[in-house]
Amino acid sequence: MRSTLPTWVGHWATLFGDRPAIHFEDQVVSWRQFDEEVARWRARLSAHGVRAGDRVAICLLNRPEFLYVEFAAHRIGAIVVPLNTRLAPRELAETLDDAAPAVVVYEQALAALAAYLAGSWTGGTAIDVDVPPAAEPDRSPLPTRDTDEIAALLYTSGTTGRPKGVQLTLGNLEASRTLWMSEYALTHRDVHLVVMPLCFAGGFIASSKHAIAAGATIVLVRDFDPLATLRLIERYRVSWITSVPTILDRMRASEAWETSDLTSLRGIQSGGAVVPPEMVEAYGARGIDVSQAYGLSEATGGPSMWMDDAMIRVKVGSVGRAALGFEIRLLDSDGNDVAIGEVGEIALRGPQVFPGYWGRPDLTEEVLVGGWLRTGDLAHADEDGYYFIAGRKKEMIVTGGLNVYPAEVERVVDRYPGITESAVVGVPSERWGEEIVACVVPEPGTAVDPAALIAGVRTELADYKVPKQVLVFDELPHTLSSKVQRVAVRELVVAMLAEDDR
């Protein structure tokens, strides 16, 4: 089946011309200008030898050029690789080694990453985004692209720390568009606030791509600030936001919360963590429904489960029922369906489920079993078919809506002089959902400086992976097979922190 995704920007440019497509800082980009810039970047990428099937990596903060490069790559038939801008150079190098992009488009504001790409990376061509394209716009006919072609690679850390690329097809992305148009009724009349980073699934798919698919106007935020964001909502009469609880909570805590005019907002979709009941009530008191949803990169970001507005305050804490096109099962450890009310692993099937990991058939076989995506997340369902997330079968920590694998952090912590063992856990945090705590056992007679350890980790890992606290122990609880009992460690840390708060 033929994909329409490469035509989206041109379609709206033809229909809407000078209507605003993007508001960014002091810039107003019309649909006509958006289409023109995409055509220029298509020519520029082609001049650097980019062809169908090549990878085009984007290492940019939120700015219109991210979208120009992305849709230019789609027009060529290339695969878009959004790069996590918060990675350390070592982590970025690992991702680039795996994806092997033909080009990386970067910006100088990302000083350490820009220095690496401009000076050390030899795998392809590094393009400074702020050097304007010299080529004339490429208006040649678009190649026919099938929906089963790979459109993007979204990288996520594996449990071993090795990055893994989630392959998303054009069909996956178009199925996601169909779902959002149906469930959230997005149209060209909407004004969509894009505050989440475009390099992550929430920004790359749910925030920006769905807005473009609908012909909606995007208000693009480079750096989130609660007060400034509330002012943008007022100024541009924002009608829709896709976000995470951390951002919503900071907006609610702003001194301008009570006085801001939010009457234009018809809804907010939140994912990445459970939305607390008090947040639902706080936004509800302003006439704004916060719809909880569940999704993951391997299912094109979701929502795989969706909460209808009428039930938001009835089924508090639920992530809703199966979204359009999704089948959901809850399975026990033997792969059998669990009873209503019992906790099981979430398994998904539908047109948004990915075809596999880039170059990793071993990992693909582990998660795609009999046509079902085994998510590793746990939930139970009530008698009405509403799902409630119970935890994660995986050991992943979700902090501020971002995923962190303990083993990856532990490997860095363990290299600190004098540490014999470590365990990294996530503990509840009102601000972040979960906060990372490193528990360490030093060698006898050795002192550990928590501040120095945290500073050392920060030089090697993305900032959101850095522990907020370091706790020193004489020993950690172990299983009979000498493995650290991570659940027991977490319970111990939670109890210790609760005691300290008294």
CATH of the domain at 459: 3.30.300.30
Residue 137: other Cβ atoms inside 10 A: 16
**pLDDT, mean over the chain:** 91
Residue 114 in any domain: the answer is: yes
Q: Is the domain of 341 the same as that of 373?
A: yes
pLDDT at 406 over 50: yes
Farthest-apart Cα atoms in the chain, separation? 73
pLDDT at 208 over 80: yes
CB contact at 8 A, 264 and 233: yes
CATH number, domain with residue 44: 3.40.50.12780
What is the pLDDT at residue 161? 58
* Residue 121 sits in the same domain as residue 211: yes
Residue with the larger pLDDT of the pair 468 and 277:
468
Specify whether 345 is located in the same domain as 422. Answer: no
200 and 262 together in one domain: yes
Rounded average pLDDT over 158-173: 83
pLDDT for residue 159: 46
Phi, psi of 357 (to 5 degrees): -85, 145
191 and 221 in a single domain? The answer is yes
Same domain, 261 and 138: yes
- Of the residues 356, 381, 406, which one is the last residue of a structural domain? 381
User: Is residue 9 in a domain?
Assistant: yes
Whether 3 shows a pLDDT value over 50: the answer reads: yes
User: Are 147 and 251 contained in the same domain?
Assistant: yes
211 assigned to some structural domain: yes
Q: Is the pLDDT of residue 282 over 70?
A: yes
Q: Which of 381, 407, 428 corresponds to the end of one domain? A: 381
Domain boundary among 321, 348, 381: 381
Q: Within this chain, do residues 188 and 113 fall inside the same structural domain, yes or no?
A: yes
Strands (E) across 170-299 are located at: 191-194, 217-220, 240-243, 267-270, 290-294
Q: Do 416 and 444 fall into the same domain?
A: yes
Residue 417 structural domain: 398-500
Question: Which pLDDT score, from 0 to 100, does residue 390 have?
Answer: 77
The Cα–Cα gap between 502 and 99 comes to 49
> By mean pLDDT, which of 29-38, 88-97, 317-326 is the weakest?
317-326
Q: Is residue 391 part of a domain?
A: no
Taking residues 463-487, what's their average pLDDT?
84
Kindly tell me if the per-residue pLDDT of 435 is higher than 80.
yes
386 found inside a domain: no
Residues 351 and 402 in one domain: no
**Which conformational region is residue 215 in: left (phi greater than 0), alpha (psi within -120 to 50 degrees), or beta?**
left
Residue pair 283/249 in contact (Cβ under 8 Å)? The answer is no
In a domain, 423, yes or no: yes
pLDDT tens digits, one per residue of 387-403 = 988 777 767 788 998 88
Q: pTM to 2 decimals?
A: 0.86
Tell me, yes or no, whether 392 lies in a domain: no
Q: How far is CA 468 from CA 162, 344, 432, 475, in A?
A: 23, 31, 11, 21
Report whether pLDDT(454) > 90: yes
Question: How do residues 244-272 score in pLDDT, each as one tens digit?
Answer: 888 998 999 899 999 999 999 999 998 87
User: Is there a single domain that holds both residue 195 and residue 304?
Assistant: yes
CA distance readout (Å), 435 to 110, 228, 484, 490? 25, 26, 20, 11
Residue 375 lies inside a defined structural domain of this protein:
yes
Domain count, the chain: 2
Name, in order, each residue with C-beta under 8 angstroms of 54's C-beta and a sequence gap of 6 or more: 76, 78, 79, 101, 102, 103
Q: Are residues 366 and 421 in the same domain?
A: no
Res. 480: pLDDT tops 60: no
